[in-house]
Amino acid sequence: AQSVTQLGSHVSVSEGALVLLRCNYSSSVPPYLFWYVQYPNQGLQLLLKYTSAATLVKGINGFEAEFKKSETSFHLTKPSAHMSDAAEYFCAVSDSRAAGNKLTFGGGTRVLVKP
């Protein structure tokens, strides 16, 4: 069984400050890990993914995430927040050995960006 825990359901950052969203996973097999962003009244958009290649993954909109196996973590960062980053962010895990890529999602973190 797999699970994802996102620490902090809400994060508030100032424009230009570092954005750090925490994600810890539990998986009995090597995982594939994903970060998605959801803007109000929209579906989810893939930000980036980890698939056992480089441990530091760069995504869209200036986001990146680092896979740390020893900490079972996949935290998402962005050096400088922009007002357009205000959204909800979801971390997800899938079983690398299973076909079809069923995703298990974390509870989400809502990001508020203050001017």
> Where along the sequence are the contacts to another protein (CB under 8 A)?
9, 32, 36, 41-46, 49, 51-53, 90, 94, 96, 99-108, 110
Question: Which one, 17 or 44, has the nearer CB to another protein?
Answer: 44
d(CA 82, CA 6): 21
Residues 22, 90 contacting (CB under 8 angstroms): no
Question: Which one, 5 or 72, has the nearer CB to another protein?
Answer: 5
Residue 113 beta carbon to another protein: minimum distance, rounded to whole angstroms: 18
Q: Looking at the DSSP assignment, which residues form a beta bridge with residue 49?
A: 34
Q: Looking at the DSSP assignment, which residues form a beta bridge with residue 64?
A: 58, 77
